[in-house]
Amino acid sequence: MGETVKTKKKAFERVMQSATWAAAVITIGVLVLIVGFVLVRGVPHLKPSLFALRYTSDNVSLMPALISTVIMTAAALIIAVPLGVFAAIYLAEYARRGNRVVAVIRMTTETLSGIPSIVYGLFGGLFFVVALGWGYSVLAGAFTLSIMILPLVMRSSEEALNAVPDMYREGAFGLGAGKLRTVFRIVLPAAMRGILAGVILAVGRIVGETAALIYTAGTVAQVPSNPLQSARTLSVHMYSLSSEGLHTDEGYATAVVLLVLVVVINAVSARIAKRLGGGDK
């Protein structure tokens, strides 16, 4: 190999190395910038009145929105997770390969997961709010969100189930366990981590969602006393504050709380995943 080729190669290597390094720095830099910006603008405005149980236009309390977020997330998950996981079990464990219905279901979920959330919002508004007469309500919001996250939960659950090695199934069948026992005692627990990863993503989408909720759950800033009352989540609350333009500082404070909430949710789910996957090393 000639000297020039060698130096050329070395130079190329150096360029590529700096490029990857730069990309990493930019990625982390952007994250640090955003979080830092939110913290710097938000933390000084965190005051006790923001956590009052009742919202008034003076205190612009985020507490009702925080509670509503938790309620909304829980409700949407209760509807979507069992549906998504069971559908995934059907697809991964029961449906025969090359089945027509399976192909249709797969195509449908893929299409659904590509639809912008505002479309779900419009649908939820027309169907749950108007046609079913639920009005702007937690219930309509939760159902809309659950439809929105269903494809995500289903796909990640199906992938998690498919990733369970067949030798576990063979082992269970070989001991005389039936299909049902094999699926629910061996395969599902082994897939739990992957399923939870999908659920965490879904929680992220719910917590960050605004468009699908404005038309379905409305924007009332109080803690709902029943499922047919309107409520706003933290994201919707932030949207309202910043679009009104009167309480931008409180909007940033709300963003801080939202950030903390997301971090807490991730930490808690990671711990649950660890415990559920207890058999793993």
* CB-nearer residue toward another protein: 244 or 280: 280
We find the least distance from the C-beta atom of residue 280 to another protein, in angstroms, to be 5
Give the Cα separation of 55 and 83 in Å (integer).
35
Where along the sequence are the contacts to another protein (CB under 8 A)? Answer: 96-97, 165, 167-168, 170-178, 181, 185-186, 189-190, 277-281
Q: Report the nearest approach of another protein to the CB of residue 170 (Å).
A: 6
Residue 198 beta carbon to another protein: minimum distance, rounded to whole angstroms: 19
Q: With CA atoms as reference, report the closest residue to 160 among 124, 123, 198.
A: 198
In the complex, the smallest distance separating the C-beta of residue 68 from another protein, rounded to whole angstroms, is 38
- Pick between residue 169 and residue 247 the one whose CB is nearest to another protein: 169
Nearer to another protein, 133 or 279 (CB): 279
Q: Between residues 147 and 186, which has the closer beta carbon with respect to another protein?
A: 186
Q: How far is the CB of 99 from another protein (least distance, A)?
A: 12
Residues 26 and 86: their CA atoms lie apart, in Å, by 41
Cβ closer to another protein: 110 or 280? Answer: 280
Q: Which residues contact 93 (CB under 8 A, 6 or more apart)?
A: 161, 179, 183, 187
Q: Could you give the CA distance from residue 218 to residue 141 in angstroms, rounded to a whole number?
A: 8
DSSP state of 96: P
Q: For residues 19 and 166, what is the distance between their CA atoms, to the nearest angstrom?
A: 41
Q: Give the Cα separation of 162 and 102 in Å (integer).
A: 14
